[in-house]
Chain A
Amino acid sequence: MTQSERFLDLKGLEVDYMTLDGPFRAVKGVDLHINRGEVLGLAGESGCGKSTIAYALMRLHRPPAFISGGTITIDGEDVLSFDEEKLAQWRWSKVSLVFQSAMNALNPVLTIFEQFRDVYHRHTGEDTAAARVRAEELMDLVGIDPARLDDYPHQLSGGMRQRVVLANALILEPQMIIMDEPTTALDVVVQREILQEIAGLQKKFGFSILFITHDLALMSQFADRIAIMLQGEIVEVNSAHEILHNPQHDYTKQLWDAMPSFDDAKGVA
């Protein structure tokens, strides 16, 4: 595999949180890569450090969080060397982030279009009419009637809000989208709809995805490769097929064993 096929390359990433008891290392020397057009799943239980990695990749950490070691290379560039100006221009356009519970973080006093226009305008300098055209295109793309652009977030269902968040992440046609538990708060049917939507968009546009979830079954339906994280470390990385059929690490096996499944007899211990 040539270096240029790697869209993202993480080496020895360390992230600390300063706490009253001293520094707490939430990410302990993580190596990870994502190829162009690849869907990499990052799975692990709450608190293992998944969101901390997502924030580090976007350089979104603020004190008390510090990236204290390692390198992040994205599309050949050293992300840790970027200044604020470069970062502001780089985020959304190269890599965008759908963060955990983003659908509840839409600004309640702005219409869907107004929020959309703000991002579009800030990055492209284009006017409202151009933003409208792009917004309608994207609404179509994620399966929402463009007339809903003038609605406020509370007028949309949870599934529709999540589609809006996806559309926002696509505004500038990024080459990678980081999705931090994009379906966790949704009903099963809506979750499935959003997952289909993400898979469909990924196939159509070919961007890379870092897909974060605690649901290994969901992840296996969609990811090309899966990394299993435990207490700040990656304990196993393999193809989705191998993670499912031939898990190597005890923790991966434990995760599978702990999942509810249809096959079990009632109330097995």
Chain B
Amino acid sequence: MADQPYLEVKGVSKTYTLKTIFSGSKQVKALQDISFKLGRGEALALVGESGSGKSTCGRAIAGMFDIDEGDILVNGKSITSARNSKEKRENAQKVQMVFQDPFASLNPTHTVRHHLARPLTLHKRVPEGSTLEQELVRTLEDVELEPDVMLDKFPHELSGGQRQRINLARALAVGAELIIADEPTSMLDVSIRRSILNLMNRLKTDRGITFLYITHDLATAHYLTENTAVMYGGRIVEYGPSDAIVRDPQHPYSQLLLSSVPNAHTRINADFEHARDFSKFADRVRTETAASTAGLKEIAAGRFVRAA
């Protein structure tokens, strides 16, 4: 099927039950009826503040836990119905995650060579006629790192941006088709973020990698992604083409997110009362967004907004 999406998330819900010391247990609706599609070689941004459910959504797609309701299809096949371990392994191979902290996911006692050679061998990713060494070089070149310099370095000898490139390289070495990048640039200097976004963009266009890009920064979403889903409280409040959402956000929460992005050309109003007013406004938007149970409405082709 030509227009079968690479990833399809259908009505996914997930509730965590937290045991609290004082009041027994508390339910956290981390995901509520999440649906979207993502075509092969395309990218979707999941944008929202911390606690909105972005990572839970990413981890659900990576098959890291069982969802309560709904279904997730990768390449047309449900990951929840992957019964035997071979199918599960194949899913796990195709869908890779890259995390926020570029250090935490690398083993400090192993070189770059080890981090990449292991998945290449383990997943039999060295084709006939090639050698492990050639594949190592190729993988590093894919993430724009100099193989000669890099292969024998340890993680602590690398900058944050280089570590994140190694994490992307490792996902490629495993054979990722879909990379879930969970705030991959938020711990990096602003001045390095763009180069990592550009790299992901090249992996997408040149290598056909599909991306789910998780961020709290609406401004960077349009670098990489065709579509953006703005999340709050476990739900999608707005969905549509990234350009349109950045140019003209419709939901009050999307508007708040966008207006909060630092803009060098706007001096901030230092009036003391204004500071308080901004916080009150932000809180009101959050409260009202959380309270609304309205469904998503299509306001233009491909653009959906939840009534505030």
Taking beta carbons and an 8 Å cutoff, which residues of A are in contact with B? Answer: 45-46, 143, 158, 187-193, 195-197, 199-204, 214-218, 220-222, 244, 254-255, 258-262, 264, 266-269
Contact = CB atoms under 8 A, between A and B. Distances in A.
Given A197-B279, A267-B201, A191 B260 contact: yes
27 contacts: A143-B279, A187-B216, A188-B217, A189-B49, A189-B256, A189-B257, A189-B260, A190-B49, A193-B275, A196-B274, A196-B279, A199-B270, A200-B274, A200-B276, A201-B272, A203-B272, A216-B191, A216-B264, A217-B190, A220-B265, A244-B264, A258-B194, A258-B195, A259-B194, A261-B219, A262-B246, A269-B198
A47 to B, nearest CB: 8
B196 to A, nearest CB: 10
Contacts of A189: 49, 256-257, 260, 282
Interface string B253-285: 000110111111111111111111011001000
Nearest to B278: A196
A260 B270 contact: no
B237 to A, nearest CB: 14
B223 A202 contact: no
Contact of A200 (B189, B202, B246, B275): B275
B190 A196 contact: no
B125 interface: no
B224 interface: yes
Contacts of B279: 143, 193, 196-197
A217 B275 CA distance: 19
A259 B191 contact: yes
A267 B260 contact: no
B189 to A, nearest CB: 4
B162 to A, nearest CB: 12
Interface string B186-220: 00011111110110011001000000000011111
Given A192-B278, A193-B278, A200-B274, A258 B191 contact: yes
B263 A217 contact: yes
Nearest to B280: A143
Given A143-B279, A218-B262, A188 B257 contact: yes
B265 to A, nearest CB: 7
Given A197-B275, A200-B276, A221 B264 contact: yes
Interface residues of B, number: 49
Contacts of A221: 262-264, 266-268
A139 B201 CA distance: 45
Nearest to B242: A266
A46 B219 contact: no
Contacts of A218: 262
A255 B257 contact: no
B260 A214 contact: no
Given A197-B279, A201-B275, A267-B198, 19 more contacts: A187-B49, A187-B216, A188-B217, A188-B260, A192-B262, A199-B269, A203-B270, A215-B190, A221-B266, A221-B267, A259-B191, A260-B193, A260-B219, A260-B223, A262-B222, A266-B201, A266-B223, A267-B197, A267-B224
B5 interface: no
B243 interface: yes
A164 B161 CA distance: 32
A258 B216 contact: no
Q: Which of A188, A192, A255, A266 has the most CB of B within 10 A?
A: A188
B272 A200 contact: yes
A64 B271 CA distance: 43
Contacts of A254: 191
A118 to B, nearest CB: 25
Q: Which of B197, B216, B246, B275 has the most CB of A within 10 A?
A: B275
Contacts of B39: none
